[in-house]
Amino acid sequence: MESNHTMVPSSQGSIQADIFSGLTVALALVPEAVAFSFVAGVSPIVGLYGAFMMCLITSILGGRPGMISGATGAMAVVMVHLVAEGNALGAPGANAGLQYLFVTLLLVGVLQGLAGAFRLGKLIRMVPRSVMMGFVNGLAIVIFLSQLKMFKVGGSLLQGDAMLIMCGLVALTMGILLIVPRICSKAPGALIAIIAVSLLVICTGIDTQTVLSFIQSNGGNGIKAGLPTFAIPQVPFTLETLLFIAPYACILAAIGLIESLMTLNLIDELTDTHGRGNKECVAQGVANIVNGLFGGMGGCAMIGQSIINITSGGRGRLSGITAALALLFFILCTSQYIEMVPIAALVGVMFIVVIKTFAWSTFKIMNKVPKWDVVVILTVTFLTVKYDLAIAVLCGVVISALIFAWENALRIRARKFVDERGFKHYQIYGPLFFGSTSLFMSKFDIKNDPDTVVIDFEESRIMDQSAIEIINKLADRYRRSGKTVYFWHLSKDCVRLIEKAEEICVVNVLEDPDYFVAIDKYHEHQKSITAPSI
């Protein structure tokens, strides 16, 4: 299968590149964090605090330098139900839902930390390439659709000149972002584009939506705030509370880890480097715990901002740390300037992210890969857009596993021949597991076989309990027919499984010491017979 993306040079970058890319990411984090906080039903400041703490902690402790974490839409759509139900549990106007969100993040962090401690990050290896392609395609579409909301004011689509200005500024941003790297490859194209379009709007007085007007149109007041403060979530620490938050915590932890680990894999591919999944799981957990204690909405890795960082030259931890500290600086000191940045400039940057995220090679390989891979890619893409990425990835893995099992079930076959002494040999090829047992049994002609049968597993493997049971069944049928069956070339792990079976006929081994079996139940029987030789 062809590569999804153009490879980004795997250099370690530079301090200058990390700082410039970090500043660009910080600007892009503002509207995303604000938008996702509105989705979750919390204050924009909670979303901005969440983005700052997630980005800072994962940049310092995470397993993938250059990857950016923050408040995400995938987790926000789950949080909105948690906050709504939490508000219903508290007194009217007490905003109890936010407190339940904070305590849930504590449990989310613990679960994610345990996942890293038990080295569950390696399970991401079970995600097939087709699922990964569907994931990036679906996420690119989700990012694109989320940016379309920026073309609305008060829930209504922009009209007339307002729409033309918005589209023109977006196109200008995209043009600058595409041209600057061609003139100077080391120049921070995204940051230059944002600053240039912002200066154009401010100096000419163009009437267009800015960060401040976007926040106000969604019911907020601005992004200025103080430092996040420590506070224990104000909820009753009872069994009822645990039972309420536990399902949400499990879902949020799973979504956060899946999105983070898949983003890590994508960044690995883009940079031709290797991140540490288990370390990233722990970092995500620590970051969410800190969010729960300091009033942030939590989150996970952000594929859009991560790609902005990587394509802008950010490679080291400094890029993420710079983005986090710059975001905090915006909140504390320069909110009035950041609020003047036109939304169109940020949308233009995100549209470029969409273009670079989407696996355009999908269209080239449609006629080159197995049809089932195409089905998986399309299914995961659709589910990512329709529901969320956790459901999409899980369904994609299950479908891929079922397809793999079905295809391997048809690969069991047997070569048959009768030697000079009249012993019939069955040389088995392919894996013997639950899916192939029926086809395996159909290979034998028990009624017409001679009195001695040899079944050779040199080119096969016994995979599961179903395989053991079918061997028991086969041995029993031969025994009831008054015939003797020998099993040859059983590997050590196959022998271990067969030793657990209740009944077996005669298990014969070659002189090769690598193949041996000792089943006490049949020691005496084996001593009383002469095993056929090759």
pLDDT along the chain (534 residues), means of 10: 48 80 89 78 89 96 94 83 89 84 96 94 82 86 84 82 93 92 79 90 91 78 87 92 94 90 88 90 97 95 89 91 94 88 87 85 87 91 84 88 88 92 93 92 93 90 86 88 85 62 48 39 42 46
Residue 410: other Cβ atoms inside 10 A: 11
Q: What pLDDT sits at residue 527?
A: 44
Q: Name every residue whose Cβ is closer than 8 Å to that of residue 380 and which is 6 or more positions away in sequence.
A: 130, 131, 133, 134, 135, 137, 138, 392, 393, 395, 396
Q: Which H helix or E strand runs over 431?
A: strand 424-432
Q: What pLDDT sits at residue 349?
A: 84
Angle between helix axes 160-183 and 343-357 (nearest 10 degrees) is 60
Q: In this structure, are residues 194 and 172 in contact, taking their beta carbons and an 8 Å threshold?
A: no
CA distance linking residue 436 with residue 444, whole number of Å: 14
Structure tokens at 318: 């400094």
Residue with tokens 């163009």: 206
pTM: 0.73
Of the candidates 141, 507, 98, 175, which has an alpha carbon nearest to the alpha carbon of residue 360? Answer: 141
Domains of the chain: 15-148+161-218+234-359 (no CATH), 410-527 (3.30.750.24)
Condensed to tens digits (0 to 9), the pLDDT of residues 176-196 reads 988 988 888 777 777 888 899
Q: In this structure, are residues 191 and 320 in contact, taking their beta carbons and an 8 Å threshold?
A: no
Of the candidates 23, 512, 49, which has an alpha carbon nearest to the alpha carbon of residue 298? Answer: 49
394, 399, 401, 407: CA torsion to nearest 10: -170
Q: What pLDDT sits at residue 511?
A: 42
Which alpha helices (DSSP H) does 272-419 contain, by range? 277-294, 303-311, 317-332, 335-338, 343-357, 361-365, 371-386, 389-409
In the chain, what is the straight-line distance between the N-terminal and C-terminal CA atoms, in Å? 44
Residue 317: other Cβ atoms inside 10 A: 18
CA distance linking residue 144 with residue 138, whole number of Å: 10
Buried residues in 261-271 as b, exposed as e (16+ CB within 10 A): bbbbbbbbbbb
CA distance linking residue 77 with residue 389, whole number of Å: 11
Q: In this structure, are residues 281 and 64 in contact, taking their beta carbons and an 8 Å threshold?
A: no
Q: Which H helix or E strand runs over 102?
A: helix 96-117
Instruction: List residues bridging with 487 in a β-sheet.
Output: 455, 507
CA distance linking residue 171 with residue 168, whole number of Å: 5
CA distance linking residue 74 with residue 83, whole number of Å: 15
